[in-house]
Structure formats: structure tokens, C-alpha cells
């Protein structure tokens, strides 16, 4: 099997960027609707908790989010699409976290990731370890199963809190949509604030679907 040369694939579909590793020819002919889900469009006069969360992130200095979302995070994706935070869709979580680490190291501003459940966080953990060691400001927004579904031990359920603590200076589990904007803003501010050498600037917010 021949290996493709490692290169960044970066394509813009509407307001969303598409990034990853591979052969650009393999993705350029794919319709945009198969790359990224169709966004919901609520009334412009109505701000959802997701809208407020991204506004809070932008106000705290976040300008880009490297995302590999799933169905659990679609309401966050919908808000991201309407926000001033630039969305970069990545092929894999390792691309998300590696790109966030690199971007934040260069700009010294916090970069966000949007990851799907515990396995998505686990996939991106190696680069988050690098970000922790380098004191890189990275804010992870990780979707979780609906709280009422936990008792059924769903297939993708895992102990995300313990996993996130291995790389994060703080881990927050959102208990209410009303609190999300404040929690995101505080995490972004903490991630970008000055800390002692060796301290992690990685923060993680776990957001249940409900």
C-alpha cells in the first residue's frame, strides 16, 4: 500500500473550514453537506445558550475552534456557525488538539477544541499532553451523553473527568445550560492568564447533551 505524503488539507465550504491530513484531491469533490451537517437557523433575535457560550469565548480571546463534533455537539456547532469564532473542521481529534496546540503557541492566545464524547477526548490526549507540558492555552469543549442516559451505560460512555484531569488545570462539568456561558468564559480566561512555569493552561468543559 502506498502512503500519501503528509500534508494539510484546508478547504472552505461557506463559513466553515475543513482541515486535516491527506490528499486534497480526495476531498475536493465531496459536496459540502456531506462534510458538515446542515445548521439550524433560529431567529436572529434569539440567542441560545450555545450562542452565548461562543460569544463569551470570543470575548475572552478565543478566535478559532478546531472541531471534530458528533451528534451530541450539534447545538454547539449551530451556535459556532453563527459566532465570530472561526470554525475549522478536522478529520480526527489528533488534528484538532495538535492544531490548537500549535495555533496557541504561535499566537499566545487561547484556542478551542470541540470534541465528541470520551473517545474523542481520548484520541486527542497525546497532543493535549504536549500542550500541558508547554503551558499552551487550550480550551476543550467536550460533549457528553445526556445525564438521564448514564444509568444505561451507553456504548461511548466513559470517565471523561478522570481522563481530562491528566492534562487539564481545571475540569468543569456543566450542570445547566444557563451556566454554560459563564463557565466557558472563565475557562478561556483561566487558560489565557499568566501562570507559573510548568503549570497547565489546558482547561476542559464537559457538556452533557441535555
Q: Which CATH code for domain 47-208?
A: 3.40.50.970
The pTM of this model reads: 0.75
67: pLDDT strictly greater than 80: yes
Residue 173 has pLDDT above 90, yes or no: no
Q: CA dist 70 to 17, 21, 158, Å?
A: 16, 19, 16
Mean predicted confidence (pLDDT) in 181-188: 81
What burial letters (b/e) apply to 181-197, b meaning 16+ CB within 10 Å?
bebbbbbbbbbbeeeee
Looking at per-residue pLDDT, the higher value among 19 and 118 belongs to 118
Amino acid at each position: 500500500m502506498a502512503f500519501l505524503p503528509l500534508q494539510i488539507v484546508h478547504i472552505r465550504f461557506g463559513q466553515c473550514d475543513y482541515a486535516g491530513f491527506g490528499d486534497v484531491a480526495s476531498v475536493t469533490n465531496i459536496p459540502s453537506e456531506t462534510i458538515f451537517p446542515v445548521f439550524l437557523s433560529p431567529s436572529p433575535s434569539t440567542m441560545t445558550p450555545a450562542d452565548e457560550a461562543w460569544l463569551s469565548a470570543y470575548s475572552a480571546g478565543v478566535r478559532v475552534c478546531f472541531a471534530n463534533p458528533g451528534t451530541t455537539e450539534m447545538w454547539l456547532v449551530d451556535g459556532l456557525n453563527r459566532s465570530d469564532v472561526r470554525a475549522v473542521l478536522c478529520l480526527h481529534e489528533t488534528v484538532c488538539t495538535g492544531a490548537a496546540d500549535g495555533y496557541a503557541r504561535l499566537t499566545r492566545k487561547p484556542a478551542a477544541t470541540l470534541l465528541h464524547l470520551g473517545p474523542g477526548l481520548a484520541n486527542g490526549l497525546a497532543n493535549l499532553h504536549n500542550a500541558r507540558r508547554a503551558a499552551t492555552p487550550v480550551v476543550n469543549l467536550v460533549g457528553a451523553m445526556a445525564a438521564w442516559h448514564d444509568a444505561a451505560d451507553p456504548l461511548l460512555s466513559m470517565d471523561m473527568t478522570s481522563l481530562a484531569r491528566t492534562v487539564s488545570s481545571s475540569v468543569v462539568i456543566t450542570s445547566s445550560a444557563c451556566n454554560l456561558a459563564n463557565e466557558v468564559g472563565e475557562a478561556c480566561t483561566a487558560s489565557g492568564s499568566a501562570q507559573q512555569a510548568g503549570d497547565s493552561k489546558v482547561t476542559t468543559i464537559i457538556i452533557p447533551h441535555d
